[in-house]
């Protein structure tokens, strides 16, 4: 992932060499006399789910709630799905004049709406033992949903160097821009504050999330789908803030595995033959437990409909 402000700075440098310092100055500091299309904070979505609410709803108990545990608070809560796997303004970009752009959150809402119908077919097919026949559009939509369900989550962002070390990257870019001349240096000085650095880093994160490398979707499309269905009585999947459970290795390898639990008894993963959907019945409680252990260990927050499962997973976490 690249920082938006950094990425745009680099892309703009080539244009500036042709058009001069004035363009850089105007790009960094919009004319305050121009009419601002300021956003209405009361109307824009603020609570952004990184695991869709419709997704989490497939894990609830008979009261429609989840038992959720957050490692930072160390508490187990009984809450509705809308209260889990969300952060304020996670996908919001704020311009220098204060205008907020929440278009990525809107795009994810549309993606989730399309994926909801696909999930219904996959879960129903797994439960009755009959593989659904997805259209090419549905399969493509599923691949996009699966990909972003990995890329959009904060637990992944916390491991990305360009996000965790954004100040180092900004220092390099600011140095290049200051070298363009006095006006550019003055403009950068106004950006070189803790508040502006935070804004640029957030914009870069959102830009990085939005970018979809074609080769990744191509790899997913080259694989079939596998539906993992729990048949062991009393067993269920947990759902984590880093929801995809992966076997170590490249997705290019034929035996690579990546599973996304999509319901308390169903997970969807990469198949082993192109253009096929395979249903795998999972009757081994130990295999289910191992998968849940990975979910709990790699996630800051994890949840399930079963309180007993959650208490067992919490007890198995390494002691601080």
The mean per-residue pLDDT over the stretch 19-41 comes to 40
Element (H, E) at 268: strand 266-270
**Among the listed ranges 104-118, 128-142, 202-216, which one has the minimum average pLDDT value?**
202-216
The pLDDT of residue 139 is 96
The pLDDT of residue 35 is 36
Cβ–Cβ under 8 Å, residues 295 and 79: no
Cβ–Cβ under 8 Å, residues 24 and 187: yes
Longest dimension (CA), the chain: 71
Which of 50, 124, 145 has its CA nearest to residue 277? 124
Q: Is the pLDDT of residue 93 over 70?
A: yes
Q: How many residues does the chain have?
A: 320
Q: Which two tokens stand for residue 211?
A: 């970018």
Cβ–Cβ under 8 Å, residues 145 and 118: yes
> What is the DSSP code (8-state) at residue 36?
P
The pLDDT of residue 31 is 42
The mean per-residue pLDDT over the stretch 97-108 comes to 91
Sign of CA dihedral 70, 195, 166, 19: positive
**Direct distance between the N- and C-terminal alpha carbons of the chain, in angstroms, rounded to an integer:** 31
Element (H, E) at 55: helix 53-56
User: What is the C-alpha separation between 146 and 134, in angstroms, rounded?
Assistant: 15
The pLDDT of residue 211 is 79
Q: Which two tokens stand for residue 252?
A: 């290019």
On whether the pTM is more than 0.85, the answer is no
The mean per-residue pLDDT over the stretch 308-317 comes to 98
Higher pLDDT, 102 or 97: 102
Banded model confidence at residue 32, pLDDT cuts 50, 70, 90: very low
> What is the DSSP code (8-state) at residue 133?
-
The mean per-residue pLDDT over the stretch 220-231 comes to 95
Q: Which two tokens stand for residue 39?
A: 């956003």
Q: Is the pLDDT of residue 3 over 80?
A: no
What phi, psi does 196 have (nearest 5°)? Answer: -70, -35
User: What is the C-alpha separation between 102 and 89, in angstroms, rounded?
Assistant: 8
Cβ–Cβ under 8 Å, residues 204 and 6: yes
């Amino acid at each position: 992932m690249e920082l938006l402000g950094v990425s745009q700075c680099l892309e703009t440098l080539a244009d500036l060499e042709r058009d001069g310092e004035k363009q850089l100055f105007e790009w960094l500091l919009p004319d305050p006399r121009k009419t601002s299309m300021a956003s209405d904070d009361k109307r824009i979505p603020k609570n952004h789910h990184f695991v869709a609410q419709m997704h989490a709803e497939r894990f609830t108990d008979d009261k429609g709630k989840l038992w959720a545990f957050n490692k930072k608070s160390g508490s187990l809560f009984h809450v509705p799905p809308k209260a889990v796997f969300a952060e304020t303004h996670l996908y919001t970009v704020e311009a220098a004049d204060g205008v907020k752009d929440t278009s990525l959150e809107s795009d994810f809402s549309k993606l989730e709406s399309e994926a909801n119908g696909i999930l219904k077919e996959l879960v129903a097919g797994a439960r009755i033992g009959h593989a659904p026949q997805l259209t090419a559009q549905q399969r493509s939509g599923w691949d996009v949903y699966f990909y972003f369900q990995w890329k959009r989550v904060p637990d992944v962002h916390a491991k990305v160097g360009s996000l965790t070390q954004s100040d180092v990257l900004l220092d390099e870019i600011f140095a290049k821009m200051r070298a363009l001349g006095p006006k550019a240096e003055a403009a950068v000085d106004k950006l070189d504050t803790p508040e502006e650095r935070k804004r640029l880093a957030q914009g870069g994160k959102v830009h990085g999330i939005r970018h979809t490398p074609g080769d990744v979707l191509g790899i997913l499309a080259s694989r079939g789908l596998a539906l993992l269905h729990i048949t062991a009585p009393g067993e269920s999947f947990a759902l984590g803030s880093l929801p995809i459970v992966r076997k170590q290795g490249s997705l290019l390898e034929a035996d690579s595995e990546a599973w996304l639990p999509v319901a308390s008894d169903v997970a969807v993963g990469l198949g082993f033959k192109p253009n096929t959907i395979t249903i795998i019945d999972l009757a081994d409680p130990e295999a289910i437990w191992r998968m849940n252990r990975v979910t709990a260990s790699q996630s800051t927050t994890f949840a399930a409909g079963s309180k007993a499962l959650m208490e067992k997973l919490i007890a198995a976490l390494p002691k601080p």
